[in-house]
Structures are given as C-alpha cells and as structure tokens.
Structure 1
Amino acid sequence: MLTPARSLVLNRIADAIPDRGPGFVRVGVDGPDGSGKTVLADELAAVLRDRGRPATRVSIDDFHQVRALRHHRGRDSPEGFWRDSYDYPRFRADVLDPFGPDGSGLYRPAAHDVTTDARLDPDPRQAPPGTVLIVDGIFLHRDELVAGWDFSLFLDVPFTETARRMSTRDGTPPDPSHPGMRRYVEGQRLYFAACSPAHRATLVIDNTDPSAPTIR
C-alpha cells in the first residue's frame, strides 16, 4: 500500500533525479536481497510518468550468468555469489551504454532467463528522448558499474528483516545466520566491505518499514 509517508519519500526522490532535457538519465536502485528494490523502483517509475517524464524499468536479475558460471565456485559460495552472479559486460553493452551521454537509447532489456537458464537476445527497444532508466538489483555500486549511474539509491535494511521477507517470498530460512542463507548474507557482506555502497549512493533509504521509509 502506498502510504502518505511512502509517497512523500518517492516524490522527494523524484525531485532529486536530474533532468537533462532530451538526454537520458540512469538511476540505480541497490540494496540487499529482500530490501524492497523492485517495488520501490516500480513505484518511482510511476511517479515520474505521472509527472510526464518517460521512465523505463530494467532489472539486473535479467542479466544473470548461466548456472555453470554462477555456481562454478560452489552453489553455497558467498564469493561466487558476489563475483559470478551477473554478466556485467553484457549489461553495460545492452543497457548502460545505450542510455549513456552518447547513447542511442536502443537497448535490450534482458540477456538471460533464470528459470530455463537460456541466454536471450531479444529485439532491441527504442527509448524516447529524456527517458529515465531505472534499474533495480544487488551489487549495483560495484566498481564495474558505479560510474554508469547518474543517480543512485541504496536501500538499507538489516539482514534480520531481509531474511524474513525472503522466507515469505522464496521459502528460504528466516534466520540470516542459518547455513542456507550463508551464500546470500556473506556475499553481501563481501560487497559491503569492497565497495561501501551506502557511501557511493546518491541517497540512502531506510526501508526497514516499507510503509514509512526515510531518507538518510
């Protein structure tokens, strides 16, 4: 439910996103698994569209590596989760570069189907001038991607809460210290130590209570 407090925060974020006229703007929505990235990114896109700004949504989850590459360090490896989850060269070529300062706006929104493990090569789509690209996903402030954002968010939610949400959504253990959560929680901690995403982001959002998020 979009509460007044949440609507206020979404509008404050929308106010802060730069307007480059006919130029594109790239927005990253980062945070741990279960922090609420997809929902917030969808809502932010709706707020921008209501203001008359074109907005396009893409998820880094549609750019996974194939399973053989994702799991080559082991299915439970935190290092493998942090280092091998996504095809960053393909994501840059298909999404970030087309929306860059000299980009054409001709992009492909997906490169992999995580359910079937099939590589994808969809027909390109043309974004209209002035489009705000909003990408949700984990690890978006890593070295390979951080320079690709014109504006970015980091959703700060404790692992005790994200694990609870993931348990409801995915059926994973609700305790972040459970061995079944080691890949995800420890992989995120490797990311935090290497990249300090809360310091690299334009804004940090405390989304522990989705009905009343706050901007830090």
Structure 2
Amino acid sequence: MHADPSPGDWAWLANDVAVRYGLTDGIVAIDGPSGAGKSTFAAELVRALADRGRSSVLISTDDYATWDDPASWWPELERDLIRAFERRHDYFYRPRIWVDGRPEIGPETWIRWQPLLIIEGVTSARRSSAHRFAHRFWLDGPSSDDRLARTVARDGEADRDHLVAWQQFEEGWFAIDGTRDRCEVLEAE
C-alpha cells in the first residue's frame, strides 16, 4: 500500500525522473487512475526540467475527455498535438471548457514547439500510440477509495457519481488496454 505522497515527495520523484531518464526530447506519457497524483507529478516534472534548462509543454487529457466521452477523442489529440509535435511545428488545440456543468469546445490555444511534450492523464499511454512515446510512466496512487476521496475533494461533491463512474471506466480501460504493463511504474518515496 502506498502512503499518500506529500508535495515534497512529488518534487523528489520528478527530480529523480528528470535525471534518471535523461528527459530532453520526445513525447512523455504520464498515466494511471484518477486521483493517483498524475497532474501534481507532471507539474513538478515540468519544474524539475525547467530547473535543468529543458523546455517542455504539458498537456492534460482532461482538456479532451468528458464524462460522456472518456476515450474516443484521441484522434483529435493526435491530429492537433502529436503530429504537429513530430513535425516540429508550433501547434494549437481547443481544450474543453465547462459551462454550467457541460463541456464545450474552447478557444484555440497556441503552443510554441518545445523539444519535450508531456501528456498526462487517464489513457495517455494507450496502446494505439505507445510506440510514438519516448517514455511512458504510470502512477498507481493510493486505494480506489482514497483516490475517490481525493478527486471528490478536488472536483466537488456534486461530481461524486461521475467520478465513481469514471473509476469504473478506467478500471475496464486499463484492463483491456494493458496500459500499466508497458509503462515504467513510479512511486513517490
């Protein structure tokens, strides 16, 4: 069982990963179940890389996924981000924005090309694109009950039913996709 990592643990892990894996270029996926700490770790990793003079772009799958469409938006992310990144071009995408509890396509967000693209979130290390990624990392996080408590604390009690359904989706997704098996499993110390 994992202890709930503190922000200091995430910073330590991010620094360790930046050094141990020599992250300088390519696409990095950070996957794992909701509430595992992916967003926190990814933000710390961007900081650790910047401290070493390495530029990166961080994109969250939350910018695409919705309660009703947790996974089929991937071709849009590939078109908008991955292909442009591979061509070494600046690129744009249209993240979802939530209006009155419903997702809508947001305004264009332009991204200046950097040598390292970090995609964090559920389904980011999916089998269909895994070959395109320089590194794939996985965070387990605490028990599903603890992860649910974290996500409810973060997103609000009104989203509890959505978050429970999301946990059920991701459990099935990860089992069928075999995501964890092709990732480097990371644990905050």
Superposition TM-score tier, normalisation by shorter sequence: 0.7 to 0.9
Shift of 1:119: 2.0
1:12 aligns with 2:12: no
CA distance in 2, matches of 1:60, 1:159: 20
1:112 aligns with 2:93: no
TM-score normalised by the chain length of structure 2: 0.81
TM-score normalised by the chain length of structure 1: 0.72
Name 1:150's counterpart in structure 2.
Answer: 134
Q: Secondary structure at the match of 2:84?
A: coil
1:144 partner letter: S
Preserved contact between residue 56 and residue 132 of structure 1 (Cα < 8 Å): yes
User: What is the alpha-carbon root mean square deviation over aligned residues?
Assistant: 2.7
Cα-to-partner distance string for 1:127-154 (whole Å, 9 max, x where unaligned)? 24xx211111101222333223211211
Shift of 1:112: 2.6
Q: Tell me, which stretches of 5 or more residues in structure 1 are unaligned?
A: 72-79, 207-212
Preserved contact between residue 62 and residue 114 of structure 1 (Cα < 8 Å): no
Cα-to-partner distance string for 1:75-121 (whole Å, 9 max, x where unaligned)? xxxxx64x44xx11110011111222xx1232224343233633245
Aligned length: 181
Higher helix share: 2
Among candidates 88, 91, 108, match of residue 77 of structure 2: 91
Identity of aligned residues (%): 21
Name 2:39's counterpart in structure 1.
Answer: 38
Name 1:194's counterpart in structure 2.
Answer: 176
Q: Secondary structure at the match of 1:46?
A: helix
Q: Secondary structure at the match of 1:127?
A: coil
Rate the CA distance shift 1:148–1:111 in 2: closer, same or farther, 3 A.
farther
1:205 aligns with 2:186: yes
CA distance in 2, matches of 1:156, 1:123: 30
Name 2:54's counterpart in structure 1.
Answer: 53
CA distance in 1, matches of 2:34, 2:109: 29
Name 1:162's counterpart in structure 2.
Answer: 147
1:183 partner letter: A
Q: Tell me, which stretches of 5 or more residues in structure 2 are unaligned?
A: 1-5
Greater Rg by CA: 1
Preserved contact between residue 58 and residue 109 of structure 1 (Cα < 8 Å): no
